[in-house]
A = this chain, B = another copy of it.
Amino acid sequence: MMNTVDERKKNTGRKKIDIKKVEKNSNKLVTFSKRRQGLFKKATELCVLCDVNIAMIVSSPADKLFAFGQPDTDIVLKNYIHGTTEFEDQESERISSIYEEYNREHEEALKTLELEKKKLVETEKSARVSNRGEWWNDSIDDMNSEQLQQFMMSIYEFRKKLAEKEYEHPKMISM
């Protein structure tokens, strides 16, 4: 009997897998669930340990979206856009002026968008949860058009950085 138990145990435990698409759908869902949790946990740890901000969007196998974020992301991005970071002050200033011009020209349309958001908020207010400053947990009406623009411009800005030779990127993609 001890023998039977031991033999069963020998077949359990973590096994090595290749990093390639999991074909069996049920396994894929389980793996996704476990690893997404692990990824979010790692992100949280990095945020806490190093006092940094992270924003992340993950699409699921079922095309749902999962999101992760740490507080103050907006502020960091805003500072970045407005050139208060250490590098490329000239370029940042330029971006800043583009941003402001963009801001003027879009003001009216953004008001329309703002109105639409308010409408959505009205119909969703009852389903919301309270929050303490995590932007990913904010309700829609707390995200004004300025913030939207900041984020949009930050995407533009960080992609510009990526396009330069000093960018960091995941080399392990070929592993």
Which A positions have Cβ atoms within 8 angstroms of B? 17, 19-22, 28, 31-32, 35-46, 48-68, 73, 76, 79-80, 85-87, 98, 101-102, 105-106, 108-109, 112-113, 116-117, 120-121, 124, 127-129, 134, 136-140, 143, 148, 151-152, 154-165, 167-170, 172-173, 175
Residue with the greatest number of chain B CB neighbours at <10 A, chosen from A46, A51, A143, A159: A159
A-B contact pairs, 30 of them (CB 8 A): A21-B48, A35-B49, A35-B50, A37-B172, A39-B42, A41-B175, A43-B56, A50-B61, A52-B58, A52-B60, A54-B56, A57-B154, A59-B76, A62-B86, A63-B79, A65-B154, A67-B158, A67-B159, A67-B168, A67-B169, A98-B113, A101-B112, A102-B113, A106-B109, A124-B160, A136-B159, A136-B162, A137-B169, A138-B159, A151-B152
Structural contact, B19 and A48, CB atoms closer than 8 A: yes
Q: Judge whether B46 and A169 touch: CB under 8 Å.
A: no
Contact present for B165 and A41 (CB under 8 Å): no
CB distance from A168 to the nearest CB of B (A): 5
Chain B CB within 10 A, most for which of A53, A124, A155:
A155
Q: Looking at A42, A52, A108, which has the most chain B CB atoms within 10 Å of its CB?
A: A52
Question: Which chain B positions have C-beta within 8 A of A67?
Answer: 158-159, 161-162, 167-169
A157 CA to B64 CA, complexed, in Å = 11
Q: Which of B31, B60, B138 contacts A163 (CB 8 A)?
A: B138
A45 CB to nearest B CB, Å? 5
